[in-house]
């Protein structure tokens, strides 16, 4: 293999899954506040997803609708349209958990207002002249999404395999939400990166936007976990520290610090391709058995 070939992104799976949005719905009335029993820290660290994803995934959809005219490959266009459908559904499903948290005394509004500002204003459409500046900002956001999707696929793969959550008696409805979403993240894990390669693919941009995405995710996640722990009405002195996170990672209740650190050089490697991570087969198998995905399929069949 020549040096140039060794440096090219290498997809490892040739089969392609047509992406479809599954119109799932969940009922939250039986889900307890601490849905990982006796473990508010793990519960709330994972709950941060419900704070970030509604606005974050709406933003993915918003940006991708703008990039559609730049796609000159029919297959990729179909993948991006499938991706948009799935992310819109993810955003809605996580949004629907928020009223349930509020009913249990955890009003997420002070935090979600900031997240909405971040995605809608800071990362939104700026008043830029048409031409290069507008295209630069669009490409920057496409690259940011590719970097974020490295982590959504990482988390999706993690939650599909997080048997410790089952052993601890985690709420089955919340686990199904997380695993349905995680499985679709694994299923569509190559789309954002393929799109980035198609419209730009600059390595400097990949590194720069990874640094921004990673720092923002760490910052927002620790703040979100702290927000929930401090505002949890059942905790007198709720705290969230890095050691809490590290210990849960060692027990398999959260992703381990080591696995997270090891994922960094993989994304920055020249030969990286998201298909090298996770298992499409496992994701498809979960989606074929997920109670919410099965119910969605049944109601779509009945409506047809
Ligand atoms: Fe998603
Ligand atoms: Fe995604």
Distance 184 CA to ligand 1 centre (A): 7
Which bound ligand lies closest to the C-alpha atom of 88?
1
Distance 91 CA to ligand 1 centre (A): 7
- Kindly report, residue by residue over 158-197, the tens digit of the pLDDT: 999 999 999 999 999 999 999 999 999 999 999 999 999 9
Which bound ligand lies closest to the C-alpha atom of 151?
2
User: Could you write out the DSSP letters of every residue in the chain?
Assistant: --HHHHTS--------PPP---------TT--SSSSTT-HHHHHHHHHHHHHHHHHHHHHHHHHHHHGGG---HHHHHHHHHHHHHHHHHHHHHHTTHHHHHHTT---HHHHHHHHHIIIIITS-----TTHHHHHHHHHHHHHHHHHHHHHHHHHHHHHT-HHHHHTT--HHHHHHHHHHHHHHHHTTTHHHHHHHHHT--HHHHHHHHHHHHHHHHHHHHHHHHHHHHH-TT-SS----HHHHHHHHHHTSS--HHHHHHHHHHHHSTT--GGGSS-HHHHHHHHHH-HHHHHHHHHHHHH-
Which bound ligand lies closest to the C-alpha atom of 64?
2
Distance 20 CA to ligand 2 centre (A): 13
Ion ligand 1: protein residues whose beta carbon lies under 5 Å: 87, 90
In the predicted structure, residue 286 carries a pLDDT above the cut 70? yes
Distance 63 CA to ligand 1 centre (A): 14
Distance 183 CA to ligand 2 centre (A): 10
Distance 116 CA to ligand 2 centre (A): 18
In the predicted structure, residue 7 carries a pLDDT above the cut 80? no
Distance 238 CA to ligand 2 centre (A): 31
Distance 236 CA to ligand 2 centre (A): 36
- Kindly report, residue by residue over 94-136, the tens digit of the pLDDT: 999 999 999 999 999 999 999 999 999 999 998 888 889 999 9
């Amino acid at each position: 293999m020549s040096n140039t070939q060794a440096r090219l992104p290498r997809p490892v799976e040739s089969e392609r899954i047509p992406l479809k949005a599954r119109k799932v719905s969940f009922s939250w009335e039986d889900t307890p506040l601490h849905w990982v029993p006796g473990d508010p820290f793990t519960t709330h660290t994972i709950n941060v997803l419900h704070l970030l994803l509604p606005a974050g995934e709406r933003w993915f959809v918003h940006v991708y609708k703008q990039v559609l005219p730049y796609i000159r490959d029919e297959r990729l266009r179909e993948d991006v349209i499938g991706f948009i459908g799935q992310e819109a559904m993810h955003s809605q499903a996580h949004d629907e958990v928020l009223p349930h948290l509020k009913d249990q005394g955890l009003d997420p509004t002070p935090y979600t207002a900031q997240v909405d500002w971040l995605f809608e204003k800071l990362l939104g459409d700026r008043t830029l002249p048409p031409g290069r500046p507008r295209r630069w900002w669009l490409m920057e956001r496409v690259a940011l999404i590719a970097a974020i999707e490295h982590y959504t696929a990482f988390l999706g793969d993690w939650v599909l395999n997080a048997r410790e959550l089952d052993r601890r008696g985690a709420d089955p409805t919340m686990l199904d939400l997380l695993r349905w979403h995680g499985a679709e993240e694994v299923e569509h894990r190559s789309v954002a990166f393929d799109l980035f390669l198609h419209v730009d693919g600059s390595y400097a941009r990949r590194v720069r936007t990874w640094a921004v995405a990673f720092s923002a995710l760490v910052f927002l996640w620790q703040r979100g976990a702290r927000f929930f722990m401090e505002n949890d009405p059942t905790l007198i002195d709720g705290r969230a520290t890095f050691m809490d996170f590290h210990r849960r990672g060692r027990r398999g209740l959260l992703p381990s610090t080591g696995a997270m650190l090891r994922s960094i050089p993989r994304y920055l490697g020249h030969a990286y391709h998201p298909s090298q991570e996770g298992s499409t087969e496992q994701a498809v198998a979960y989606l074929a058995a997920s109670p919410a995905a099965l119910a969605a399929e049944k109601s779509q069949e009945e409506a047809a």
